[in-house]
A = this chain, B = another copy of it.
């Protein structure tokens, strides 16, 4: 490869000064995704899909540990099904992709490509639930959904088709359904904190921004380095609205007919976008060891006269790490020099690099270099697997700490419209203030700087941070968290 194309390999945009362009460049050059020929669609490449598979593995395991059963419902929903719950149709109608023809024939009834599956799943829940013994019923599917939003494509954040999981459950009483809502919210929080190395906030969406038909929408919110909030996953308590619209009822222990309480909850590949945005830097992708494959790359440094010995030493180290279950790649390509390899694996986000040259070989050591901050340490080859495990844990902790630092101090108070605008304008982040609960009080903020109320506290009884609404001055009902969003 020529000098010029080696440069093309690297990231040219700045995370700090042109975050959007930098993000797009990292996604493409780290071979995470490419843009499809149709606006709004992307191609998820192996390095990207592998991250999604890992996230799936964690979440799916937790779901199965907590009595969730996977299913697959059709990708199409007949128009009249979509219309059965009025909030759903109003909420999604403008965003639905419609199949109107099959082969050469026009369909009698056009079919929606699923924007979400409540309206096809609920009628089957209705059939499958007869007795209180059939409850709770917990279904989930991993699939893709389509929402025809006409905004600019931003891989994993804004795409017309996206991958997600959608859970749908039915319960006898409100209590069980609410516990379910919170259990899934907790699992989303856990996947962000323990797997993606990202601290998050949890809260409720304001009423005017709830999922269509929901009683309560809960959310995990993650703060991005540019001061914007990302809705990282939502868990909805739907009350009995879907139970009533689709007749999900059961005979209770006293032989009485009751309407089931339902929930739905979803986490999409947007989590991958938030992950990339949070940890990556001007050298490229940064992945936590929980998601990276490989977790470790070994770069041997040889001269013509010691290739064989160095390579043998490297293979020994590789074997020890592999045997301990560490995912490791020995980069023994002979048409690339070590410097090129360092850059390439930094670009691709491998958490830990091991350099093995003549010094390391002679002294039976290995030089470990942390991807996030370049910190290096030369360690004994003896016990290398345990040492590497510790370093991987340290790297995870560094990533978490750095994201935590971004979040901390980025939640500020405001008591007036001007202060909200000024604070978000200057610092980004979250601004919390008293709020009367009226959607109209969000509008001036939205209009001026495109910030909105991303959440209110989970606890409905929590006293508002101030007595008065920061915008209209009436009595505050709760605390609003304003932020710009993706």
Task: Give chain A's interface residues, CB within 8 Å of chain B.
Answer: 34, 36-38, 41-46, 49-50, 52-53, 69-76, 78, 81, 93-104, 110-111, 113, 120, 123-124, 127, 139, 143-144, 146, 148, 150, 160-161, 163
Contact = CB atoms under 8 A, between A and B. Distances in A.
A100 B103 contact: no
Number of copies: 2
Contacts of A127: 34
Most chain B C-beta atoms within 10 Å of own C-beta, residue among A43, A72, A100, A124:
A72
B100 A94 contact: no
Contact of A37 (B44, B78, B101): B78
Given A99-B97, A99-B98, A103-B148, A46 B74 contact: no
Determine which residue in A71, A111, A120, A123 has the highest number of CB atoms from chain B within 10 A of its CB, and name it.
A71
A100 B98 contact: yes
B97 A102 contact: yes
Contacts of A34: 124, 127
B102 A41 contact: no
A114 B95 CA distance: 20
7 contacts: A36-B73, A37-B123, A94-B103, A96-B103, A98-B99, A98-B100, A101-B110
A43 B75 CA distance: 10
Contacts of A76: 38, 41, 161
Contact of A71 (B41, B44, B93, B95): B44
Contact of A72 (B37, B96, B99, B163): B163
A75 B146 CA distance: 9
A122 to B, nearest CB: 12
